Structure 1
Amino acid sequence: KSSDILKSTRGMSIVRKYNKVAYVLVKFEVLYHKAWTKEISTMKYVLQATLLIRDQETEKMYSNFDHRILEILREAKCMLKMDLEVPELAKRLLKTEQMLKTNSNNLEVHCI
């Protein structure tokens, strides 16, 4: 029986190891979430950056879209799926996700 396996010395040892791993993973999740939330608060300046920059020598225009914005969108979705708190800035970005992706793609296409 499976209950007999868990009651054995080896089974109890495995359960203890499993619980230790689970504890470490939860602790990591909490630390990662805290650091992520702090990082989001520093991203305001990224949203205020100029989207197009001109090369002084060639006069060619380049996209200055920061792809960390798209990374924030992906991570915010994951945090929400895990029922974790998401900063207001990330929530606002999620509401404009499609527009941000479209604009990013348009900038890349037209600035090549």
Structure 2
Amino acid sequence: SKVLLSYEILYHRGWLRQVDVVATGIHSSILLRVNRDDLLSAASVHIGTASVVTSTSQTNPEYLVNFDPNILELIRETQCLARLGLEIPKEAAILAQREDYLKRYYQELTQLVEKNKRLREKIKQPFEALLAPKIHRLNDIIKPGLTSITWASLTINDFINSVNSALDEFDLMLDRANDLITYRIDAVLDEIATMTLCEIPDDEPITPEQFLHNTQDLCNVASKQIQIKSHNVEDAVLEVIDLLCGDIISSNEGNDNMQYSGAALNADDEETDG
């Protein structure tokens, strides 16, 4: 029993020295942004606890949930040592009290990162340039999770709700844009491409004059249909542009109007002075 007691004392002393080191992990940011080259090394450090978002371009960064698994191990050890009546540092006791809180937010952040991954995979490469301002805006909403929000913060829930709302809004916009492209642009262009401009009867011969007359009639009908469908495609393209860039265009137009108004005021002042 003396040997066992000595071992417990030595283990407890060593554990006390490690508490401060592990407990500092709660002051780390809740998310990390990594480069592709750093991804493998970062994953090895976090021992399988990182939920990674892959990207298709520089505008789509890679994120992982920045949670040290040693924190949960420390909490478990704290609970066991407390049952033995041994001394528990304040930092370890606080972590033990926050166990459910930490597990819940880790799970929610993992789901958030995976949701972000699925959404960014829906971005079609030709539209990444058009979506760059919106993507940067989304990245700005996520940015506090990389810098100021830690596992000790009281604003994690607000951050998760804010990012979820931004992702849902972005997802809705992508769905609408993809539907417009699929059903009102690509489908109509396919219809135009498959229009019949001439017909050769299989059952009976036809004179060149009759063939020319029939072809002209078909072309006239097709021309009207193509014109209508082209206008429909044009309208759909404008809707896509407005959907993807409308707020940016409106902002630029607002700036132009302000500049114009300022120029007009200056002109009026000059006339008054004259």
TM range (shorter): 0.7 to 0.9
Give the 5 Å matches for 1:20-59.
22-57=1-36, 58=55, 59=61
Q: Which residue of structure 1 lines up, in the alignment, with residue 79 of structure 2?
A: 77
Q: Which moved further from structure 2: 43-52 or 29-38?
A: 43-52
1:51-87: CA deviation from partner (whole Å, max 9, x where unpaired): 1011234312101101111111100000110011100
2:83 aligned with 1:104, yes or no?
no
Instruction: Give distance in 1, aligned partners of 2:107 and 2:27.
Output: 18
Structure 1 moving runs of 4+ over 6 Å: none
Q: What is the TM-score when the length of structure 1 is the normalising length?
A: 0.72
Structure 1 position 107, deviation (Å): 2.4
Structure 1 position 101, deviation (Å): 1.0
Structure 1 position 39, deviation (Å): 0.6
Q: Which residue of structure 1 lines up, in the alignment, with residue 92 of structure 2?
A: 90
Higher RCO (CA 8 Å, separation ≥ 6 residues): 1
- Structure with max Cα Rg: 2
Unaligned runs of 5+ in 2: 37-54, 56-60, 115-274
Q: What is the TM-score when the length of structure 2 is the normalising length?
A: 0.31
Q: Which residue of structure 1 lines up, in the alignment, with residue 62 of structure 2?
A: 60
Instruction: Give distance in 1, aligned partners of 2:18 and 2:90.
Output: 13
Instruction: Give distance in 2, aligned partners of 1:56 and 1:39.
Output: 30
Structure 1 position 89, deviation (Å): 0.3
Give, as a single letter, the amino acid of the residue that structure 1 aligns with 2:91: L
Report the count of equivalent residues: 91
Structure with greater helix percent: 2
Instruction: Give distance in 2, aligned partners of 1:44 and 1:71.
Output: 11
Structure 1 position 108, deviation (Å): 2.7
Instruction: Give distance in 1, aligned partners of 2:34 and 2:108.
Output: 19
Give, as a single letter, the amino acid of the residue that structure 2 aligns with 1:68: N
For the residue of structure 2 that corresponds to 1:84, the secondary structure is coil
Instruction: Give distance in 2, aligned partners of 1:45 and 1:90.
Output: 11
What is the percentage of aligned positions where both structures have the same residue? 30
1:25-59: CA deviation from partner (whole Å, max 9, x where unpaired): 11111000011111102234312211101123431
Q: Which residue of structure 1 lines up, in the alignment, with residue 180 of structure 2?
A: none
Q: Which moved further from structure 2: 79-88 or 41-50?
A: 41-50
Give, as a single letter, the amino acid of the residue that structure 1 aligns with 2:92: A
For the residue of structure 2 that corresponds to 1:111, the secondary structure is helix
Instruction: Give distance in 2, aligned partners of 1:37 and 1:102.
Output: 27
Instruction: Give distance in 2, aligned partners of 1:44 and 1:97.
Output: 13
Instruction: Give distance in 2, aligned partners of 1:89 and 1:63.
Output: 22
Give, as a single letter, the amino acid of the residue that structure 2 aligns with 1:35: G
Give, as a single letter, the amino acid of the residue that structure 2 aligns with 1:42: V
